[in-house]
């Protein structure tokens, strides 16, 4: 067997692929590990199961076969995860743009996503399309988790409306909504104590006054993201970056 080599490339498995101190890989991951990266038995790799566990795994002598198990030599919890649980609720955008939101916010450390259907939402999804879109977003998130060396895969909810989102605001320590009528973000006592934060941004044409009022009445604090109007797919990324920077996490 060759001498051990450690690789910083991150790999993802579902939790049920971890059993009896062994890790099994899907065909896709197997091809990436052994055919694309040309790794060999004895090499050490990092693997996450998406629920906070990060594994150091040593490839075995039968490496390269689909379903082959690799030995787990070390387990750590919550590697490369931020202390604050950030959820991003974003107005549904036209196809493709939401992929960028999921990818970039996942790399920043966002823990959950809630797509929003609003009165100005241009993208409309029936149940089948919504299910397919969520499956694609999950693949985007998995890729971003591997890229950013995270140990937790963000959850992606089914599309929600403003009323249901407002009802959930009490579940968070701090709720912020991006608004041109808002004030610049201040790091006050509520912000400093928050362990869970909900960030809300609108679709291409923004929220109606009624929708924004519904959310602020539920406890959302309007925040100005800057002097310039941002595209719907950029606002969640800027908002997340702003909040994490103010919290001295980035």
Q: How many domains does the chain have?
A: 2
Q: Which two tokens stand for residue 55?
A: 């594994």
Distance (Å, whole) CA 98 – CA 92:
7
pLDDT tens digit string along 71-104? 999 999 988 899 999 999 999 887 678 999 999 9
pLDDT tens-place values along the chain, 250 residues long: 445 666 667 899 999 999 999 999 888 878 888 888 888 888 999 999 999 999 999 988 765 666 677 899 999 998 889 999 999 999 988 767 899 999 999 999 999 999 999 988 776 777 888 899 999 999 999 999 999 999 999 999 999 999 999 999 999 999 999 998 899 999 999 999 999 999 999 998 889 999 999 999 999 999 999 888 899 999 999 999 999 999 988 7
Domain stop point among 33, 61, 77: 77
Task: Answer yes or no: do 225 and 109 share one domain.
Answer: yes
Among 187, 201, 197, 200, which Cα is nearest to 229's? Answer: 201
Domain housing 185: 85-246
What pLDDT was estimated at residue 4?
61
What pLDDT was estimated at residue 6?
64
Task: Answer yes or no: do 106 and 40 share one domain.
Answer: no
Task: Answer yes or no: do 73 and 117 share one domain.
Answer: no
pTM, entire model: 0.91
* Cross-sheet strand order for the sheet of 6-12: 6-12, 44-48, 53-58, 69-77, 22-24, 18-19
Q: Which two tokens stand for residue 10?
A: 């991150």
């Amino acid at each position: 067997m060759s001498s051990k080599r450690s690789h910083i490339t991150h790999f993802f498995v579902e939790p049920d692929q971890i059993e009896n101190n062994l890790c099994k890989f899907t065909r896709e991951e197997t091809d990436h590990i052994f055919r694309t990266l040309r790794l060999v038995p004895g090499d050490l790799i990092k693997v996450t199961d998406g629920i906070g566990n990060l594994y150091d795994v040593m490839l075995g002598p039968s490496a390269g076969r689909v379903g082959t198990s690799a030995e787990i030599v070390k387990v750590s919890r919550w590697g490369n995860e931020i202390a604050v649980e950030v959820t991003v609720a974003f107005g549904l955008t036209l196809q493709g743009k939401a992929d960028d939101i999921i990818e970039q916010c996942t790399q920043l450390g966002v823990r959950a996503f809630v797509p929003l259907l609003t009165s100005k939402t241009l993208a409309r999804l029936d149940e089948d399309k919504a299910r397919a879109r969520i499956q694609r977003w999950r693949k985007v998130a998995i890729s971003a988790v591997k890229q950013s060396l995270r140990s937790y895969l963000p959850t992606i909810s089914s599309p929600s409306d403003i009323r249901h989102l407002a009802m959930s605001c009490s579940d968070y320590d701090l709720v912020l909504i991006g608004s041109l009528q808002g004030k610049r973000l201040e790091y006050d006592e509520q912000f400093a104590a928050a362990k869970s934060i909900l960030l809300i941004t609108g679709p291409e044409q923004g929220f109606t006054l009624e929708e924004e009022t519904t959310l602020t009445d539920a406890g959302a604090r309007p925040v100005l993201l800057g002097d310039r109007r941002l595209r719907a797919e950029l606002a969640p990324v800027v908002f997340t970056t702003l909040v994490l920077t103010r919290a001295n996490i980035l």
